[in-house]
Structure 1
Amino acid sequence: MALPAISSEMSDEELDRIAAKAQEASNLLKALSHEGRLMILCHLVSGEKSVTELERLLSARQAAVSQQLARLRLEGLVTPRREGKTIYYSLTDDRPKRILELIYELFCAGED
């Protein structure tokens, strides 16, 4: 897929729409730019995990994991589900998985 060029011939409405989408993409990339958040998303690609499971998988304290999950919730990348006292998280949609597949391809695939 080719990226469309931004031109001076675009209407103000089109340019405003593109600017809003650029802000949305920037927020997503900022959320992904933290190693801990990126690792959380990598673990969630395989399915729903509890906060306790994520703590163990990341070898991180609950406070740190919860802080990163809060940011991912804010950006709409993960969805919580409560079952009793346990909170489980899953990916909200396919966007993080698609981005992580590309990151894996660019940075990890040749190392296997």
Structure 2
Amino acid sequence: METNKRDKQLKARKRVEELKDFCIHLTVYVLVNLFIIITTVTARMNNGEDFVEGFFNFGTFATAIFWGIGLAFHAANTFAYNPFFSKDWEERQIQKYMEEDRREAEKFGKH
């Protein structure tokens, strides 16, 4: 009984650590990308572009976009989101294979 409680506590600690890591990642993402965007727009404006030209430029947001893709995968992993292999899908597959094994056992058990 004590082992089960310890396992649950370790699992909870791991979950909290994953959430903390994601929050740190998100905070760093926001701060660094704000700095990059402000610096990029300012540099473009100093080179003769107006604010709109400097702001609405792919290069201004390239880091945020590609890093954001990685952040989205981190979020999906942290919050256990998988649109392709949901818990419901996993349960159906488990039931399917258990049923196949049961039928195989019955088939060979009858002979």
Do these two structures clear the TM 0.5 threshold for a shared fold by scoring above it?
no
Report the structure, 1 or 2, having the larger strand content: 1
Report the structure, 1 or 2, having the larger helix content: 2
TM-score (norm 1): 0.35
